[in-house]
């Protein structure tokens, strides 16, 4: 049996979706008696396509409205918490309602079957580790022994919530023990979607990262609309339509998803030049392109971030290897190379024993910048003579660097190395 605590947009969709997809009995509870009454009467208290029909279909059969918390969870094996987590005036997430619901639920775990608490509420990264686990432990319960625990973020769009729940593109489950993992894996076997089992904090972060990316894309479109409006003869609707005809949005050879991946900074000739040019042009038109200026700022900041990671693990008298000098793999182009900026910052920080290797760009990099570093002729040569290695270009031959050496510290500036 399943319980869902909180019957708002996420909770009601979750409860009805699980009842519909799994055929299991789902008890739903909401602390608001007016909401419970409306649902008892077959009325969804907000508009969302398909929910009214599904409520009528499952009410009293596979979906039961509980009158109190105890009735909802006393016999449930899985308890989904779908409590709202609004922000306060300063932007902090209000966790108290969620924590109070979890605290009350613990009262009904005595002398009953093993229960797994599943946090579906959107909570900041670290919430489960720093707030929920300590709460459960303070009640004398052991995670994985007395109570299972998981974080299972939702990715529902208003107006499309039912379809998104029934036909998910991915299911993310934050877990720390095998039993909770197996219980949710069995439940979600009813759904034709890949299941990603990650840490609690990673699950929380993925949800926030997803929404932040969407917000950034919308903000970019709005910035371009305001900037474009400062010129005559720009048709914004047409411009955005043509922008999205770029095949990188939909397929090969370089789908747009490949751009949403961390690294050591974008480079090359076009991106740095054109973004800076558009900023300058916008300012000449009297428009301050805030987001574009931050794009440049973050791209510079991430290079200092890589240097700081080196400083944390590599001493100044050690021999440091740099893998990758071209701004991207399958190219010998070093214009705007992030490697150049990072090497210059490492030199300024006191690293004067640097060896670099790039499959195609060694000579071009040396001729272009003449930095006081050495160059290795082969990848294996660099690995043998260096104490630590920083990967800055995602050449395919670098992917297995970890397995090629067992005693080197490796800083993966492109997040692509195999373990």
Domain range 2-202, CATH architecture: 3-Layer(aba) Sandwich (3.40)
Question: Which of 258-267 are b and which e, b meaning 16 or more Cβ less than 10 Å from the residue's Cβ?
Answer: eeeeebbbbb
Contact 104, 136 (CB under 8 A): no
Q: How confident is the model at residue 115 (pLDDT cuts 50, 70, 90)?
A: very high
In the numeric block, which tokens belong to residue 40?
């008892």
Q: Quick check: 149 pLDDT over 70?
A: yes
Share of the chain above pLDDT 90, in %: 91
Domain ranges for the chain = 2-202, 210-296, 301-412
Residue 261, beta-bridge partner list = none
| Crossing angle of helices 200-228 and 290-313, rounded to 10° | 150
404 CB burial (10 A radius; 0-12, 13-18, 19+): middle
Element (H, E) at 26: strand 26-29
Question: What pLDDT score does 40 carry?
Answer: 93
Q: What is the largest CA-CA distance in the chain?
A: 78
Q: Quick check: 419 pLDDT over 90?
A: no
Question: What pLDDT score does 375 carry?
Answer: 98
Q: Quick check: 305 pLDDT over 70?
A: yes
Q: Quick check: 229 pLDDT over 80?
A: yes
Q: How far is CA 46 from CA 64, 120, 212, 357, in A?
A: 19, 20, 25, 60
Question: What pLDDT score does 251 carry?
Answer: 77
Q: Quick check: 112 pLDDT over 70?
A: no
Cis amide prior to 290 (ω within 30 degrees): no
Cα–Cα dist 304/348, whole Å: 12
Report the top-level CATH class of 301-412. Answer: alpha beta
Q: What is the pLDDT of residues 333-361, one digit of tens each?
A: 999 999 999 999 999 999 999 999 999 99
Question: What pLDDT score does 111 carry?
Answer: 66
Question: What pLDDT score does 407 carry?
Answer: 85
Q: How confident is the model at residue 30 (pLDDT cuts 50, 70, 90)?
A: very high
Q: Quick check: 282 pLDDT over 80?
A: yes
Q: Please provide the average confidence, as pLDDT, over all residues in the chain.
A: 95
Q: Quick check: 248 pLDDT over 90?
A: no
Contacts 24+ apart (CB under 8 A), 253-256: none
- Tell the residue number behind the tokens 């396509």, with chain if given: 49
What is the pairing mode between strands 147-151 and 171-175? antiparallel
Identify which of 309, 302, 325 has the alpha carbon closest to the alpha carbon of residue 411.
309
Question: What pLDDT score does 397 carry?
Answer: 96
Q: How confident is the model at residue 222 (pLDDT cuts 50, 70, 90)?
A: very high
Degrees to nearest 5, angle at CA 244 with 242 and 245: 65
Question: What pLDDT score does 406 carry?
Answer: 79
Cα–Cα dist 123/151, whole Å: 9
Rg of the chain taking only CA atoms, in angstroms: 27
DSSP calls for 385-402 = H-SEEEE-S--GGGTTHH
């Amino acid at each position: 049996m399943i319980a869902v605590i909180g019957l708002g947009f996420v909770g009601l969709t979750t409860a009805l979706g699980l009842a519909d997809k799994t055929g299991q009995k789902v008890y739903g509870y909401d602390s608001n008696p007016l909401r419970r009454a409306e649902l008892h009467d077959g009325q969804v208290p907000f508009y969302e396509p398909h929910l009214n029909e599904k409520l009528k279909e499952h009410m009293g059969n596979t979906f039961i409205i509980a009158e109190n918390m105890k009735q909802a969870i006393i016999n449930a094996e899985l308890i989904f918490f779908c409590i709202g987590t609004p922000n306060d005036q300063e932007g902090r997430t209000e966790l108290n309602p969620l924590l109070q619901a979890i605290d009350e639920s613990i009262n009904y775990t005595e002398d009953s079957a093993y229960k797994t608490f599943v946090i579906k509420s959107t909570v900041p990264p670290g919430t489960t580790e720093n707030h929920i686990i300590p709460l459960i432990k303070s009640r004398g319960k052991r995670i994985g022994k007395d109570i299972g625990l998981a974080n299972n973020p939702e990715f529902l769009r208003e107006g499309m919530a039912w379809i998104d729940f029934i036909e998910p593109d991915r299911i993310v489950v934050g877990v720390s023990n095998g039993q909770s993992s197996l219980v949710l894996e069995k439940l979600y076997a009813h759904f034709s979607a890949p299941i990603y089992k990650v840490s609690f904090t990673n699950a929380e972060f993925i949800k926030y990262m997803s929404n932040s990316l969407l917000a950034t894309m919308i903000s970019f479109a709005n910035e371009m609309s305001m900037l474009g409006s400062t010129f005559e003869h720009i048709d914004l609707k047409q411009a955005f339509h043509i922008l999205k005809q770029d095949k990188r949005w939909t397929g090969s050879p370089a789908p747009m998803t490949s751009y949403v991946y961390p690294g050591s900074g974008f480079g090359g000739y076009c991106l740095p030049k054109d973004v800076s040019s558009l900023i300058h042009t916008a300012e000449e038109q009297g428009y301050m392109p805030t987001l574009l200026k931050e794009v440049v700022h973050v791209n510079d900041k991430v290079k200092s971030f890589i240097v700081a990671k080196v400083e944390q693990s590599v001493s100044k008298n050690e021999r440091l290897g740099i893998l990758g000098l071209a701004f991207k793999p399958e190219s010998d182009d070093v214009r705007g190379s992030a490697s150049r900026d990072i090497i210059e910052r490492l030199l300024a920080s006191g690293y004067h024993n640097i060896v670099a290797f790039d499959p195609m760009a060694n000579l071009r990099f040396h001729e272009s910048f003449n930095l006081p570093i050495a160059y290795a002729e082969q990848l294996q040569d660099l690995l043998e003579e260096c104490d630590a290695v920083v990967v800055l270009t995602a050449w395919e031959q670098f992917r297995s660097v970890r397995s090629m050496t067992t005693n080197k510290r490796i800083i993966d500036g492109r997040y692509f190395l195999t373990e």
